[in-house]
Structure 1
Amino acid sequence: MLTSGDAILQVAHENSFAVPAFNISDWNMCRGIVEISEEKNAPLLIAIHPDELSHTTDALMPAIRELAHRASVPVAIHFDHGATVDQMVWAVQSGFTSVMLDGSMLPFDENVALTKAAVDIAHAVGLSVEGELGTIGKTDAEAEDGAAEIIYTVPEDAVRFIELTGVDSLAIAIGTSHGIYPSWMKPELKLDLLKEIKAAVNIPLVLHGGSNNPDSEIGEAAALGVNKINISSDIKVAYHTKMREVMADASLREPNTIQPPAIEAMKVEAAHKIDLFGAAGKASLF
């Protein structure tokens, strides 16, 4: 069932769980993510950011929309980390049902202006918008863009930002980074800050950089009020690690031999996240 991001996240907000937003970068990842969401009876956001789109191209969008339409669980297709008004227009025209305007690296007023423009565009056609306030770190060259230093979200600023922009959900900075943490870096979420922000605002909250964080912290973040958690690196590591193992046998050449084990490995990781976020079985709420 294809739907908007807000339709999914409002239910998560009202019922205190987090929906996974799994970043996909090819058709088989997309298929596998929908399959495991159906098996777990969990709502889903399929997330695609500009770097991933440079690989899939927008020619894949009709197939993703058809897959979402046929799914037995609610599915939104989310344009992740858009940066310009032109990208917002393009995303709406391309068939996304949820968009993100990421102005987090800009001064507050510029972030507000860009995000408000995205809201005006998306709301005109019934789609939802995610904004971001505060900065996410970046751990390696393979990760999505992030800041050299995390700037934590200030609760009072979050209130003003929501009032000025009209966003449907807000990505906050409480200590996560994009990518896989190196051995010397210890991730630590400011869960007390999350509580303050949740008490101050009344829209779904989003956590980017959810991969490679301790399960205990991520699980608690979902229980405390985060309603969407983005997972990219963890499922891609599972998918491509298994693919490398399979392709060690140089005699293999057929996709139906090589790719199914990689899809299954990714599904195991995704199933773990769905359970951790409290999303398993929640499709029955829709």
Structure 2
Amino acid sequence: MLTSTQAILEKAQRYGYAVGAFNLYNLEGAKAVVNAAEADRSPAIIQLLPQILRYGGVPLIALFLEAADSASVPMSVHLDHCEEADVIAMCLEAGIQSVLADGSKFSYEENLAFTREMTVLAHQQGATVEAEIGRISGTEDGMTVAEKEAKMTDPDQAKAFVAASGVDFLAVTIGNVHGKYHSAPRLDFDRLARVRQLLDIPLVLHGASGLPALMIQRSIELGVCKFNVNTEVRQRYLEFWREYGKTGSQTDLLDCQKAATGVMQEVVAQKIRLFGSAGRA
């Protein structure tokens, strides 16, 4: 059932678990998330990036919205990492429940002005806004932030930003990265704890692919109730097609699509259980 992202995350925050937000590209991905969420009676969030939207357009949004609405568990659709006002406006008009108005590459003042403007726009249409303070390093789907450009979230600045912008959720940067971790992850939990002390809105952690279970659990204890997942699901999908290309054992395309859905569903299910949202629908 199509549900507001705010309702999904506020419930997660209240009961001490997190919800997986899965970046998707096609019908197989949507079915994988819906199937896994229904099987484990878990809420879930479907996400799409502007790069994918340029390829699939409004029909892709409609596909994801229909998939979420057809599910027997609460689901929403979220626009991830968007710095273009016209794209955000288009997605809100198409019915998306929430957006990440990403001004993290701008100066603090520019980020605040952009985020405030997008928050007013989203709230007028009954949608909610995620913002990002600090900047996450890494590469994902053609979006690269060099390590030298990354900046961790300043807790006091985050408090001021949220108060001035009116955003609904905040993505924090505490050592997490987009894409692969090329060394053992090191998250600054003291920084996260300070942010949690200063803010009562739901917190978001990007770059959840590859984080150990103990780090996930500690993040949840300190207020993270949305984890973004892309790399592991996407890689499993690509691995399936590479393996299929080598063997050619299946000749029916529909059978291949079902199998590809199944391998992604396994990864989604693992994340749902790791985040503690199983049985919370």
TM-score (norm 1): 0.93
2: CA distance, partners of 1:130 / 1:241: 32
Which amino acid in the other structure matches residue 237 of structure 1? Q
Aligned to 1:249: 247
Which amino acid in the other structure matches residue 186 of structure 2? E
Aligned to 1:167: 167
More deviation in 54-63 or 4-13? 54-63
Choose which of 207, 210, 214 in structure 1 pairs with 2:208: 210
Aligned to 1:153: 153
Q: How many residues align?
A: 280
2: CA distance, partners of 1:246 / 1:134: 41
Offset of 1:191 from its aligned partner?
1.3
**TM alignment of 1:91-240, pairs within 5 A:** 91-138=91-138, 140=139, 142=141, 144-149=143-148, 150-182=150-182, 185-240=183-238
Distance verdict in 2 for CA 1:141–1:203, change over 3 Å: closer
Contact 1:43 1:75 in 2 (8 A): yes
Which amino acid in the other structure matches residue 49 of structure 1? L
Contact 1:16 1:224 in 2 (8 A): no
Equivalent pairs: percent with the same residue?
35
1: CA distance, partners of 2:141 / 2:121: 31
Offset of 1:215 from its aligned partner?
2.5
Contact 2:140 2:178 in 1 (8 A): no
Distance verdict in 2 for CA 1:93–1:41, change over 3 Å: same
Gaps of 5+ in 1: none
SS in 2 for 1:247: helix
Offset of 1:186 from its aligned partner?
2.5
Offset of 1:45 from its aligned partner?
0.8
Contact 1:144 1:179 in 2 (8 A): no
2: CA distance, partners of 1:43 / 1:248: 36
2: CA distance, partners of 1:11 / 1:143: 33
More deviation in 106-115 or 82-91? 82-91
Aligned to 2:41: 41
Contact 2:53 2:60 in 1 (8 A): no
Cα RMSD for the two superposed structures: 1.5
More deviation in 144-153 or 107-116? 144-153
Contact 1:88 1:121 in 2 (8 A): no
SS in 2 for 1:252: coil
Gaps of 5+ in 2: none
Aligned to 2:75: 75
More deviation in 146-155 or 4-13? 146-155
Offset of 1:143 from its aligned partner?
5.6
2: CA distance, partners of 1:19 / 1:159: 23
Measured against aligned partners, the alpha-carbon deviations of 1:54-83 in whole angstroms (never above 9, x if no partner) come to 333321222322222221111110011110
More deviation in 212-221 or 93-102? 212-221
**TM alignment of 1:23-34, pairs within 5 A:** 23-34=23-34
2: CA distance, partners of 1:59 / 1:145: 27
Contact 2:23 2:229 in 1 (8 A): yes
1: CA distance, partners of 2:245 / 2:258: 12
Offset of 1:147 from its aligned partner?
4.1
1: CA distance, partners of 2:73 / 2:248: 38
Contact 2:51 2:141 in 1 (8 A): no
Measured against aligned partners, the alpha-carbon deviations of 1:230-273 in whole angstroms (never above 9, x if no partner) come to 00001111122122212322353422222222221111111111
Contact 1:134 1:172 in 2 (8 A): yes
Contact 2:131 2:169 in 1 (8 A): yes
2: CA distance, partners of 1:114 / 1:229: 24
Contact 2:32 2:268 in 1 (8 A): no
Which amino acid in the other structure matches residue 63 of structure 2? A
Offset of 1:106 from its aligned partner?
1.1
